[in-house]
Each structure stands twice: as structure tokens, then as C-alpha cells.
A and B are shown apart, each in its own frame.
Chain A
Amino acid sequence: MQNQYWLYLIYLLASVSFIVGLKMLSGPKTARKGNFLAAGGMALAILGTIFLHQNEEGHLIGNYGWIFGGIAIGTVVGWLSAKKVQMTDMPQMVSLFNGMGGACAGLISIVEYKHLHDTASTGAVITILLGLIIGSVSFSGSIIAYLKLQEIMKKTFRLPAQNIFTIVLLLMILGMLVMTIMMPAMFHLYILLILSLAYGVLFVLPIGGADMPVVISLLNSFTGLAAAFGGFLYDNQVMLTGGILVGSAGTLLTILMCNAMNRSLMNVIFGSFGGGNAAAVGDDGFVGTIKSTTPSDVAILMKYAQNVVIVPGYGLAVAQAQHVIHELEELLEKEGVNVRYAIHPVAGRMPGHMNVLLAESNVSYDKLVEMEQINDDFSKTDVVFVVGANDVVNPAARNNPASPIYGMPILNADKAKTVIVSKRSMGKGYAGIENELFGYDNCLMLFGDAKASIGKLVAELKEL
């Protein structure tokens, strides 16, 4: 019995480490320590379980070979893939790991159902089945999200009458859940599993790139919930607190992300960008003419400016231009130009993604300014340099109610004296809509690959 009490103490410490760790993760100074703390708590909880856990009959954990083997494989593969992934591919990696957790929860449910379904109470069976459903949805959804972000699966796919289909599928899952509770059978469980996996796929398929982070965050909180159901089943406090903590924090985080785009969660899930609305925008077409410029002109413009604001977007990351943009910033600073970066809440593929990429190339943290802080300064800015961003500076979000991004908070780059847009071609942004900014009088286009363009710009600046 003493053993169990030690384990309880360990679980308590681990739960506290998760809570304090999450708290520390939400401040830039303490974040890294917070992550270590939570990882330490997790290691303690895992080791404690292996050596001290007893089941109801008082048996200790067995099958050590299998357990340590599994942990060894998971650790090596997880460690290596996390270490070697490119910073730009981070979001899909998070999604993939999330899917693994969901699959883990689903597998546990299958085994436990087979083990318990004729002896367990109805409550326990419901817990097992809910863990199965949520874990499987999270697994298949995360894998689809991974495939889409990795661009293995390129198209956004929407069934005709998708929403009706989804609702029917949900009802089928619910019906099957009731049936499996009333008439326990492995066969019913497998049908439930297949339906849940299908739901996860359908849930993520129609969602467009810009909304992906929101979906990953939502699936993340689903997995948390699935872990919590496991905790309920085993009367395991650390699984319960850890799972619920992630479930609720993840849900809040999802809502915060939606707020940053000024969209509701329902809108993200049930309506997708570019669909029916796109035609309405296309009609408006372009006002004004597109003017292109050269690196040497831009170099002169920037050298004699007082304030320059750089607006980085995902295109910057794709072109791997984060290092060369830092070089540009340093050169300009030497000339006495005040250079800052304006970070839109959804710049990059995920909130905060752009900060990570720029920090990687040694851009100082205080040069990165969030949207609310910098938006009023644009009217006092001489040059705004937009690199690989598009929708986040599209004035249509402010003044065209027909636009699908209408209402999304944007960076008021158009208010600056001059806007330089570095772009590969006249292609559309992620949301697939025209950007009227490009036709404005104060806007100049610098066509070409971002890295090459900025490289030329840096060379010109050195010459001057």
C-alpha cells in the first residue's frame, strides 16, 4: 500500500509541474524553463508508473521488456525527428505528434474494451468509448492536417453538401455509441472506430491553409480530452489533470487564435475560405495600375528613410530569407534608420511562427512589434517593406464587405508613405483573393524570389 502512496505523491508533483509549466510557457522569459519543468514532471510520472503502479488485485507492472522497448523506440524516433525538422515545418510536426497521442488513446480504449466489456460498469464503458471516439478523430484529423501542411495533399476538398454529410456521420457515431453500450460486442466497437476515423478525415479535409493552425489547436485539445478519459478509467490523477488542463487550455487557445483573425470557430469549421464568396470578389477586380520597381531604387528609398517597418509573411520563410532580411535590418540600423518588424497575429503558418523564424536568424526580440502596438505608427512610417505577406495587409479586410476576409484585423501598411511589396509574381495570397493594395498609388512591387531580391537590395545598400 505504501507504494501506492508514493505514486500518489509523484502524480501530485507531476500535476503541479504541468500547471506551473503551462503558466511559465505563457511568458517569454520563463517559457523555456516551464517546458523543462513540465518535461521533468512527465518523466517522474512515467517512471513512477512503471515501478510503483499496482492494479486492483495488487499486481505490479510486468512486461518490462515490451515497455522499455516501446519507450526506447518512441524516444529515439521522437527525439531525432524533432531535432532535425526545419523551423518552417514546425506546425505540421506538432500536428503529427498530436496525432500520435490521439492514436495512443484510441489503442488503449480498444484493449480495455476487449478486456472489460462484459464486467465493467456502464460508466466505465462510456468512458472507454468516448476515449476511442475522440482519440481516433484526433488521430485521423491530425494526419490529414499534417499531409496538407506538408503539401503532400494539395487540394482543399469539399464534398457536395459537406455539412449535411458531417452531421449524418456524427449522428451515426452517436447511434453506434448507444448501440455499443446497450449491446457490447467487439464488432460494434470496430464500426465505431471506423466511423470516428472517417469523421476526423472529413472534419479537416475542407479546411483551408490559413485556418489550419486553428484546427491543429482544436485537435490538440481533443487529444487532451481523450487522455483525460483514460485518467477517468484508471482513476489516474495525473492523466486526468494533464489531459483536462490541455483540453481546456487548448480550447481557449483555439478561441484566441480565431479572435486574432476575427472569425468564429463555427465559421472556421463549417465555412471555408475561397468557396462561394470568391466569385463576388473577382468581379471587383483591380483599381489602379501595378507599378514595379528595382532593388537600387528601393535601396535609396530605404537609406534616406527615418522609419522602416518590415512586414514578414510566410513567403519569407518559404524563400528562406529570414537571415538576409536581418542583414538588411543591420545595414539600415547602421545608417541610423529605425527598423522594426510588424508581426500580424497570424503571420506565418501559426501565431508566433514568424517570431520563432526571425529569432532563429538573431533578430532581437524587442524589434518584433505586435499589430496593436504598431498599427497607429504606419502613418508616420516612410517605407513599409512587405515580404511574402499578402492577406494581412489587404485593405479589403477594412473596406470591402464583400471580401471573404472582411473584418479580419490587418496591418495598416497602406497608410505609410511608400509600400514596397516583395513578391514572386502577381499570384494571390493564401486566402485566394486579390489584394487591392497593389494597385494603390503609394505601392511599388519588387518582383522576384524574396531571398534573391533582398540579397540584391543588401548589395545595393553596401554600394551606396
Chain B
Amino acid sequence: MEIINSVITFFGENIQIIYILILSIFVGIEVISKVPSALHTPLMSGANAIHGVVVIGAIIVMGHAEEGNWLAIILGFLAVILGTLNVVGGFVVTDRMLEMFKKKK
């Protein structure tokens, strides 16, 4: 019972964020519903870069790690590297694919 209570409390306290979540789901579906199949790969790659936003979480972990808390520092450092790889690599690869779609005449 205690667990159910705390889950519902969590729900109540985060109601705004839950709204953002639900609306974002619909935005995500709406935004790519009319994509030609030629653009599937670049689109997937672009979306891949966008979820690299997780690096912000890594920066927060790292930035608030207390001195001497080596687990947090080392794992946080690793997370920042990996997250940045995801962002930078993702956007650059997408750009390289899209470079190819220039109009030729």
C-alpha cells in the first residue's frame, strides 16, 4: 500500500512533466508522419543525435559530484565522453549523409 501511495504522490508532484511527456509523444509522431523513405536513414541518424541530449544528465552528475567520490567522478567522466560522442558523431554523420542530397543541375 505504501508503495502505491508513493507512486501516486510521485504522479501528483510531477503532473506538469507528465503532461509534457504525453504531448511530446504526439509531437514526435506528428512531426515525422510524412517522411519519404529516402530520408529514413538520415532521419534516424538525426534523431539518434538528438537523444544525445542525455549528455546533459552526465554533466549534471559530474558537476555535482563531491570531491573524493571517485565512483561518481569516473563514471560521470565516462558518461560525458560517451554522451558527447553520441551528440557530435550523430550530427556530423547526419550532415555527411544530407550533404549528398544537394540539388544538381
Contact = CB atoms under 8 A, between A and B. Distances in A.
A28 B36 contact: yes
B53 A359 contact: no
User: What 4 A-B pairs come out closest when comparing CB atoms?
Assistant: A74-B84, A123-B10, A61-B63, A70-B80
Contact of A42 (B31, B44, B91): B91
A67 to B, nearest CB: 5
A334 to B, nearest CB: 17
A44 to B, nearest CB: 11
Interface stretch (A110-118, A151-159, A289-297, A302-310): A110-118
A244 B54 CA distance: 11
A75 interface: yes
Contacts of A205: none
Contact of A74 (B24, B46, B82): B82
Interface string B1-18: 001001101110110010
Contacts of A115: 72
Given A32-B99, A100-B85, A236-B56, A107 B75 contact: yes
B87 A108 contact: no
B41 A243 contact: no
Contacts of A228: 21
Nearest to B80: A70
Interface in B29-51: 29, 31-51
B32 A111 contact: no
B49 A39 contact: yes
Nearest to A11: B56
6 contacts: A38-B50, A67-B62, A70-B80, A87-B97, A100-B82, A123-B13
A226 to B, nearest CB: 7
Interface residue SS majority, chain A = helix
Interface in A270-320: none
A362 B101 CA distance: 9
A266 B75 CA distance: 35
A67 B89 contact: no
Nearest to B105: A364
B55 to A, nearest CB: 6
Interface in A47-73: 49-50, 53, 55, 59-63, 66-67, 69-71, 73
Interface stretch (A249-257, A417-425, A439-447, A453-461): A249-257
A368 B20 CA distance: 40
Interface of A: 14, 18-19, 21-23, 25-28, 31-32, 34-36, 38-39, 42, 45-46, 49-50, 53, 55, 59-63, 66-67, 69-71, 73-75, 77-79, 81-83, 85, 87, 90-91, 93-94, 96-98, 100-101, 103-105, 107-108, 110-112, 114-115, 121-124, 126, 181, 213, 216-217, 220-221, 223-224, 226-228, 230-250, 252-253, 256-257, 260, 343, 345, 350-353, 355-356, 359-360, 362, 364-365, 368, 370
Given A26-B31, A79-B88, A79-B92, A73 B81 contact: yes
B89 A220 contact: no
Given A26-B34, A70-B62, A104-B58, 14 more contacts: A26-B35, A26-B39, A32-B95, A45-B53, A63-B76, A67-B62, A77-B89, A78-B84, A115-B72, A121-B9, A123-B7, A227-B54, A230-B54, A233-B57
Between A53, A82, A104, the greatest number of chain B beta carbons within 10 A of the residue's beta carbon is seen for: A104
Contacts of B78: 70, 107
A240 B21 contact: yes
Nearest to B41: A352
A349 to B, nearest CB: 9
B44 A244 contact: no
A238 B53 contact: yes
Contact of B37 (A38, A73, A234, A260): A260
A42 B9 CA distance: 32
A369 to B, nearest CB: 10
